[in-house]
């Protein structure tokens, strides 16, 4: 005689096994979906950078800034005085190559001084790295997807 707890456990295992088999059959489609989502996110990030550049260009001011300690490649913080005399400490767009203590020129949006980029840099600088990343993504995913589909068709 089996206990109700073991019946529930056996039923749960059977249900989980069915779901895993169904998911395994759909792995190529899941990978395609993942690739599409990552591609859309990359394109949206680049589009957002272009929108920010347009906003900065429409109300642009340029000033000297200092790169602060604790900055990293992914989040570089600068400090500058805006056109109203306020001390601002935002993260800067396009920070590649900046080091703590470095003095740089930044361009910022006078209507929103927290929207700042390194002078002379723009979203155009991000096109090549973004495109390269997407090419690598699809160069990895495409053969895996084809292989999985062929394996599924042969089974």
Q: Tell me if 1 is assigned to some domain.
A: no
pLDDT of residue 80: 95
What confidence tier does 3 reach under pLDDT thresholds 50, 70, 90?
Answer: low
CA 119 to chain centre: 23
Q: Which residues pair with 78 in a beta bridge?
A: 67
Q: How far apart are CA 118 and CA 64, in angstroms?
A: 10
Examine the domain organization and report whether 104 and 153 are in the same domain.
Answer: no
The pTM of the whole model exceeds 0.85 = no
Q: Tell me if 6 is assigned to some domain.
A: no
Classified as helix, coil or strand, 109 is strand
What confidence tier does 142 reach under pLDDT thresholds 50, 70, 90?
Answer: very high
Examine the domain organization and report whether 148 and 109 are in the same domain.
Answer: no
Examine the domain organization and report whether 73 and 35 are in the same domain.
Answer: no
Examine the domain organization and report whether 108 and 142 are in the same domain.
Answer: no
User: With 90 as the cut, is the pLDDT of residue 58 above it?
Assistant: yes
Q: Tell me if 21 is assigned to some domain.
A: no
pLDDT of residue 36: 98
**Burial letters for 53-77: b for 16+ Cβ neighbours within 10 Å, e otherwise?**
beebeeeeeebebbbeeebeeeebb
Tell me: the pLDDT tens digits for 67-92?
998 777 778 899 999 999 999 999 88
* Domain count for the chain: 2
Q: Tell me if 7 is assigned to some domain.
A: no
Examine the domain organization and report whether 84 and 47 are in the same domain.
Answer: no
Examine the domain organization and report whether 76 and 101 are in the same domain.
Answer: yes
Q: Tell me if 83 is assigned to some domain.
A: yes
pLDDT of residue 23: 78
Rounded to the nearest integer, the mean pLDDT of the chain is: 90
Q: Tell me if 19 is assigned to some domain.
A: no
User: With 80 as the cut, is the pLDDT of residue 155 above it?
Assistant: no
Q: Tell me if 113 is assigned to some domain.
A: yes
Q: What is the CATH number of the domain that holds 78?
A: 2.40.50
> Which residues span the domain enclosing 139?
28-55+122-155
């Amino acid at each position: 005689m089996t206990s109700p707890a073991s019946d529930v456990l056996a039923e749960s295992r059977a249900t989980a096994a069915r779901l895993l088999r169904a998911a395994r059959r759909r792995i190529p489609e899941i990978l395609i979906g993942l690739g599409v989502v990552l591609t859309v996110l990359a394109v949206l990030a680049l589009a957002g950078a272009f929108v920010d550049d347009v906003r900065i260009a429409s109300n642009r001011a340029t000033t000297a800034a200092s790169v602060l300690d604790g900055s990293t490649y992914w989040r570089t913080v600068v400090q500058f005085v805006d056109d109203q005399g306020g001390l601002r400490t935002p993260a800067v767009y396009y920070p590649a190559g900046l080091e703590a203590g470095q003095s740089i020129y930044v361009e910022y949006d006078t209507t929103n001084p927290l929207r700042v980029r390194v002078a002379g840099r723009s979203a155009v600088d991000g096109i090549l790295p973004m495109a390269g990343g997407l090419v690598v993504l699809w160069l990895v995913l495409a053969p895996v997807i084809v292989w999985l589909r062929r394996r599924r068709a042969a089974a």
